[in-house]
Structure 1
Amino acid sequence: MAVSSMASTSPASPTSPASPASTPLAGAPTGTHRSDLGLFMALAFGISWASWGTAMGLGGSAMTSPTALPYLFGAFGPLLAALVVRVRRRRRGEPVPEHAVRFRSRALAWLPLFLVATSATVLGAALLAQAAGGTALSLDGARDVMADAGGPAAFLVSMIVSGPLSEEPGWRGTAYPRMRASMGRLQVGLLLGVIWSVWHLPLFFIDGTVQNELGLATPSGMLFAVSVIPMAMLTAYAYERAGVVASMVTHFAANTTMILLDVHTPVTLALVVGLMGLVAAFLLTVSRSTPAPTAPMPEPPGAS
């Protein structure tokens, strides 16, 4: 979540007969999953942390030159890592991982639900915090944020690119299905959430980021870092239901709502963590998992 940074898939369509030697089974060996996962993690962290380390070395605000370039480039570490893993897999002639969720046009009907439900979770936490005596909700901060971004259109584009587009093809489209090969859905959601949270840590040391303004050693900063975990679980559920596009929508909704509502106080962040965590854990626990395909799957957009 670079806030600076719900139907199972149908079986694969029948394919023409082919010899066992020429037609790979769906899914790849566990060793291959681990190899690809290790490569993805090394590249995602390496690209992002090297770029953000450069930004820290340059000093200055993340939004001004020359710091802005390495800062922004660092957000694309997961996407670039996913592309490398995808090219590598295709060159080896391996099938799409068993738990990768293909894109289906009818899944688009779920996107408004993910958008509204995720935003409502953050809004509900903010309203509960206000009722408990916290900061009253106001649109003044939202107007300022959009004005600083160059207007509503520029703000929305930046929120789509920074986070959803730059991260989801990596964390959900690449890492998630490979981790699912040997772990349950809830376990993957939790573990990938911790990894995702650690990946964000350098942002706390770059001037001008939301994380830096909160401060890592403050209650708000620590709760922000923890909030990445239930968000990872919620985006994982969205991915399992409708693929990478759905996880991007969920990521976008959470980031955008938190920024527009200026979610930063410890009480509000704690309620976001609790409410989103309960919703995500419930959905991952009780909903039906994506069935394993019985034939080789076509290449799904965003999955590697």
Structure 2
Amino acid sequence: MKPLPVFLAVAFVLSWVVALPLWLAGGLASPLARPLALLMMFTPAIGVLAAWLVSRTPPRQWARETGLTLGERKGRTGLLVLAAWLGVPLLVLAAVAISAGLGLITLDLDEMSLFREQLRATGVPVPENLAPVAVTQVVVAALAGPLLNVLPSLGEEWGWRGYLAPLLAERRGVLSGLALSGVVWGLWHAPLTLLGYNYPMLGSWAAVYFVGFCVLAGVLLGWLRLRSGSVWPAVVAHGSLNAVGPAVFLLGDVASPPDLVLAGPSGLVGWVLLAACAAVLLKKLPVRSTPAV
């Protein structure tokens, strides 16, 4: 057996196995939705381990080839980790600000009514003044999010950027390979996105729409991987995005909730920002199809 088909088969089959309880009862409204979505993030890493078993590659060599080391230039990798740590929150805030400027998000900075409604729905006591809570939550997400999310983010990134992206970049060229790995990454989310995950207003069409976001985000994450020769900058970026991305809900108006198809980091506004960042980075700081390991 060849490693790549084994990796894909294990990652995709296990993702459906993990998400199956949501399809049998409750969908995304199930109390199991969050823990199962978290568990599903580890299935690509299991796929990498399965690919390693059939490849018979020495463990240290496999770790280097899949980006678990810091690459040949550890200083560069450290700078890219820092850039991802600080840059993703700025990108998210820029997406929110632009969305608000275009009228795609109605901000409610006084009452934070959308955030207030979310807290009430979970049964959490809601303080009269939510501003300090929201600010604290955003700051903690920006500073600690990558650390808090490091294991599940590694579970995904070791598969998609550690193993798959450089392999496809070597075979098909940098841009085509990274874009194709993003398509695969997006399709892997289907057990959740077919239920409306991320874009509830689209229903099952969310599975198609989310692929577009994954392609653009995948190119940017893939650039971090190839530029550093390490998966860790992409792990930090992914963890930060998952932590800070929901910030759009802290600032919105419950009377006019944001259309996530258009607004925020995963909407069309975010797509444009991701595409612009990826274009600049690939132009100004080009990468090799094979990462330095």
Give the TM-score of the pair, scaled to structure 1: 0.69
Q: How does 1:175-214 map to 2 (within 5 A)?
A: 175-206=164-195, 209-212=197-200
8 Å contact kept, 2:19–2:37: yes
Cα offset, 1:235, TM superposition: 0.5
Select which of 81, 91, 97 maps to 1:111. 81
8 Å contact kept, 1:44–1:80: yes
What secondary structure does 1:267 align onto? coil
Give the whole-Å Cα distance in 2 for the aligned partners of 1:159 and 1:245: 14
1 or 2, which has the higher helix percentage? Answer: 2
CA spacing shift, 1:75–1:90, aligned 2, 3 Å: same
List gaps (5 residues or longer) in structure 1: 1-31, 298-304
What secondary structure does 2:221 align onto? helix
CA spacing shift, 1:202–1:237, aligned 2, 3 Å: same
Give the whole-Å Cα distance in 2 for the aligned partners of 1:214 and 1:149: 27
Q: How does 1:56-67 map to 2 (within 5 A)?
A: 56-59=23-26, 61=28, 64-65=31-32
What secondary structure does 2:205 align onto? coil
Give the whole-Å Cα distance in 1 for the aligned partners of 2:161 and 2:227: 12
8 Å contact kept, 1:163–1:251: no
User: Higher mean Cα deviation, 160-169 or 176-185?
Assistant: 160-169
Give the whole-Å Cα distance in 2 for the aligned partners of 1:60 and 1:138: 30
List gaps (5 residues or longer) in structure 2: 125-132, 250-257
CA spacing shift, 1:159–1:61, aligned 2, 3 Å: farther
CA spacing shift, 1:286–1:77, aligned 2, 3 Å: same
Residues 1:48 and 2:15 are matched in the alignment: yes
Cα offset, 1:225, TM superposition: 3.8
Give the whole-Å Cα distance in 2 for the aligned partners of 1:213 and 1:138: 22
Cα offset, 1:278, TM superposition: 2.1
CA spacing shift, 1:93–1:240, aligned 2, 3 Å: closer
Q: How does 1:1-304 map to 2 (within 5 A)?
A: 35-59=2-26, 61=28, 64-65=31-32, 70-90=36-56, 95-96=61-62, 100-101=66-67, 102-104=69-71, 105-106=74-75, 107-137=77-107, 140=112, 156=145, 160=149, 164-206=153-195, 209-212=197-200, 215-217=203-205, 223-242=209-228, 243-262=230-249, 264-268=259-263, 269-290=267-288
> Which protein, 1 or 2, shows the higher relative CO under an 8 Å CA cutoff with sep ≥ 6?
1
What secondary structure does 2:149 align onto? helix
RMSD over equivalenced CA pairs, Å? 3.8
User: Higher mean Cα deviation, 154-163 or 54-63?
Assistant: 154-163
What secondary structure does 1:42 align onto? helix
Deviations 1:26-51 (Å, cap 9, x if unpaired)? xxxxxx9xx21111111111110222
8 Å contact kept, 1:115–1:249: yes
AA partner of residue 226 (structure 2): E
AA partner of residue 257 (structure 1): V
8 Å contact kept, 2:182–2:214: yes
The corresponding residue for 1:22 is none
Percent of aligned pairs with the same amino acid: 22
Give the TM-score of the pair, scaled to structure 2: 0.71
AA partner of residue 204 (structure 2): L
CA spacing shift, 1:216–1:273, aligned 2, 3 Å: farther
Give the whole-Å Cα distance in 2 for the aligned partners of 1:96 and 1:288: 25
